[in-house]
Amino acid sequence: MSQQTPTGGNWNTGPAPGTTPLTEGGGDTISGGALFAAVMLIVSGCLAVFQGIAAIANDDVYLRIGSYVFEFDLTAWGWIHLIIGIIVVLAGIGIFAGSGLARGAGIGLAGLSIILNFMWLPYQPWWAIIIIAIDAFIILGLCTGWKKQAG
């Protein structure tokens, strides 16, 4: 119900009944968990971009700790992190726009990021573990944070 202003117009007291500020055309509503996941996707993607740039720019930025099954050239790892990071940022932006496709892509990309950071463990173990934890929270937020509107 709207209220009238002193000049006779109506105050906009919020979104219309049954809608939210972030609503997809298909009727999906983004919850706080999904918004958290979108923000964390963008942060995680930016960190991956910076991580990739550092590995591409200077091969001796990261040192391998011990022997590990997954050994790649650091420049190759840099390009992998850079490309995946850009795609992750785009998925996070898509979630802010309310895209269900971006939600699915975000879940898949967070899973891929967990695998890549597991393989990145010998180069930056603490960094990789932190990013793996962030990605797990992203998946949780995206899997539980979308509710279908009634009607």
Which pLDDT tens digit goes with each residue over 70-93?
666 778 888 998 999 999 999 999
Those residues with Cβ within 8 angstroms of residue 69's Cβ, 6 or more apart along the chain or in another chain: none
* Tokens 């050994």 belong to residue: 71
The predicted-structure confidence for 15-74, as pLDDT tens digits, reads as follows 444 444 444 444 455 678 888 999 999 999 999 999 889 888 876 666 666 666 666 677
The pLDDT value given to residue 5 = 52
The pLDDT value given to residue 70 = 63
One-character DSSP codes across 92-139: HHHHHTT-HHHHHHHHHHHHHHHHHHHHTTTT-HHHHHHHHHHHHHHH
d(CA 69, CA 95): 35
With CA atoms as reference, report the closest residue to 95 among 63, 61, 138.
Answer: 138
